[in-house]
Amino acid sequence: MKKGKKRDWGHSPKLLRKYKLVLMDAQTYEEKFSFLVTRLGVFVSVGTLIVVLIVLTIYLVAFTSLREYIPGYANLELPRQIYDLQQKADSLENEFKRRELFLENLHRIINDEILPEDSVPIPEAIPFYDTITLRHSSADSLLREEFENQTQFNLYPNTIFNYNPANIANIYFFTPINGIITRKFDPNQRHFGIDIVANENESIKSILDGTVIFSDWTLETGYIVCIQHQHQLLSVYKHNSSLLKQQGTAVKAGEIISFVGASGELQTGPHLHFELWYEGNPVDPEQFISF
């Protein structure tokens, strides 16, 4: 029994067997540094180092700007900055045009020339508002009353063909999603938007700043988001897989509001049904947005 115990004690596991690591001077063979190690300790140390490197890499990719150098990751702030720069450029262009027109009119006035019809008239200064004596005439009041009575109970004063899309042609719209258009705008078939095919769960973004006025699920078109914008514009996003914004939430242009899905009975696969309404009338989004 004793011999058996000694034999078991002599055959210790290889992982726990100790080894001495010695650092020596190559010329004098003087021992500089030494310590004991085991195979298990080496495996644990190397494994811990690998896990730390993996965690550090994931942290750098997920929470720092280094992820922009990895294919497939995009800077979400870059489209927003481009949109702001485009807005500023449009404002500067309009301001330059107004100043140029003002200088041209001033030059014509100095040279005693006739101002063109398209010039902006300079309104006369009114020093005191209490000196205004203009009043509505009786004929004008009767005309106003007659017109208001005609349109008082008209629920649809405008038709699909009674809008002027040129009023919003200078607005820079943010592209909600990039994809392939499989069905175009066709109001005669009561298709008041376009269908854009994209990868499922791809992010959908708001085209302009606005407020979410509807965010819910319907039987036919699944999850829907409707956003009210300035200039009497309304954007509609249908067949989403999930919604990120609730009703009454304010959103910015380029902000993610939902994800591409195939919800609703009228779905034909993962796609976005996008509608753009102006002054209560549907307009063709392809005229203003590049997909």
Token output for 94: 């309009």
What is the reported pTM? Answer: 0.49
Which pLDDT score, from 0 to 100, does residue 208 have?
93
Q: Closest by alpha carbon to 268, among 214, 201, 222?
A: 222
Mean per-residue pLDDT, 184-189: 91
Which pLDDT score, from 0 to 100, does residue 76 have?
65
Which pLDDT score, from 0 to 100, does residue 220 have?
87
* Contacts for 246 with CB less than 8 Å, ≥ 6 apart: 212, 215
Confidence of residue 170 (pLDDT cuts 50, 70, 90): confident
276 close to 288: Cβ distance less than 8 angstroms: yes
Apex 117 CA angle, 115 and 120, nearest 5 = 75
As assigned by CATH, the class of the 173-287 domain is mainly beta
Place of tokens 């606005």: 210
Apex 213 CA angle, 208 and 219, nearest 5 = 110
What distance in Å separates the CA atoms of residue 35 and residue 175, rounded to the nearest whole number?
63
Q: What percent of the chain has pLDDT over 90?
A: 32
Q: Over the stretch 15-60, which tens digit does the pLDDT of each residue have?
A: 788 888 888 888 888 888 887 888 888 889 999 999 999 999 888 8
Is pLDDT at 248 greater than 60 in this prediction? yes
